[in-house]
């Protein structure tokens, strides 16, 4: 089966939907069902919620992976539509099934989604740390590579609470994880997060140096990023 992640561009859900549908059209069995769960996710990102639920409704589910993915995507649809309460039981069900089936990467995804719909910051942190523990003890590289996203999320909880010293530590750990994984674009975002925390700690010279470095790289690629430009403007004041 084609690696589902290679068909995804989260900045272009419509294009992702087209690629996923094309792959599903020639796939069979479980592979086809997995791809269709991702079609539902792509539809949800386009706010086409009824269509997305319809895709999931039509799936004949028996395989554990498909069961987990249907629960995950159903929950994501409810969350995206603004109904965290309706989303929560689907994430809980996904986590239970993934744990029983030994599907570590999907289990981590489910726990991370539980954290995203948790109301209290302490619950968000507890769940994200639990996801990080599962990831760190897994033999599945896909599960272990969740550490970068989870550390970033922990950093954001601390940042939202105004604790930028703790957030900086989290973002630095997330950056180290991104460098290990080797995704240049996401590594650049992780560097931006470190610089953002530095600015909020008053370490403006360090933050400015990092943002200028990122800006120079983007310029060399003929690209721009409004978030980088906004930080540079703030740092220039």
221, part of any domain: yes
55, part of any domain: no
Domain of residue 227, residue span: 145-237
Give the total number of structural domains in the chain.
1
Q: Nearest CA to 107 among 118, 117, 94?
A: 94
54, part of any domain: no
222, part of any domain: yes
Angle at 140 (CA atoms; ends 136, 141), nearest 5 degrees: 80
172, part of any domain: yes
189, part of any domain: yes
180, part of any domain: yes
46, part of any domain: no
Q: What is the pLDDT along the chain (237 residues), one digit of tens a residue?
A: 567 888 999 999 999 999 999 999 999 999 999 999 999 999 999 999 999 999 999 998 889 999 999 999 999 999 999 999 999 999 999 999 999 999 999 999 999 999 999 999 999 999 999 999 999 999 999 999 999 999 999 999 999 999 999 999 999 999 999 999 999 999 999 999 999 999 999 999 999 999 999 999 999 999 999 999 999 999 997
At 215 the pLDDT is: 98
pTM above 0.85, yes or no: yes
| Sign of the dihedral defined by the CA atoms of residues 155, 182, 113, 231, in that order | positive
| Sign of the dihedral defined by the CA atoms of residues 192, 194, 195, 200, in that order | positive
- Cα dist. 187→63, 82, 172, 216, 221 in Å? 35, 30, 11, 15, 16
The CATH number covering residue 151 comes to 1.25.40.10
């Amino acid at each position: 089966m084609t690696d589902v992640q290679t068909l995804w561009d989260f900045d272009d859900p419509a294009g992702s939907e087209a690629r996923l549908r094309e792959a599903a059209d020639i796939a069979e069995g479980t592979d086809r069902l997995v791809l269709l769960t991702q079609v539902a996710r792509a539809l949800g990102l386009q706010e086409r919620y009824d269509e997305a639920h319809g895709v999931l409704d039509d799936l004949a589910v028996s395989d554990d992976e498909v069961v987990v993915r249907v629960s995950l995507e159903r929950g994501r649809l409810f969350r995206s539509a603004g109904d965290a309460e309706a989303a929560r039981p689907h994430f809980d069900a996904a986590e239970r099934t993934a744990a029983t089936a030994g599907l570590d990467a999907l289990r981590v995804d489910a726990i991370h989604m539980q954290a995203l719909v948790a109301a209290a910051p302490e619950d968000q942190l507890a769940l994200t740390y639990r996801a990080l523990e599962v990831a760190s003890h897994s033999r599945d590289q896909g599960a272990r590579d969740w550490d970068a996203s989870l550390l970033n999320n922990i950093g954001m909880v601390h940042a939202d609470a105004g604790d930028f010293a703790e957030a900086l530590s989290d973002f630095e750990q997330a950056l180290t994880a991104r460098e290990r994984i080797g995704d240049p674009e996401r590594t650049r975002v992780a560097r931006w997060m470190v610089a953002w925390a530095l600015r909020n700690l008053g370490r403006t010279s360090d933050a400015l140096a990092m943002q200028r470095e990122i800006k120079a790289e983007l310029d060399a690629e003929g690209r721009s990023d409004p978030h980088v430009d906004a930080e540079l403007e703030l740092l220039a004041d």
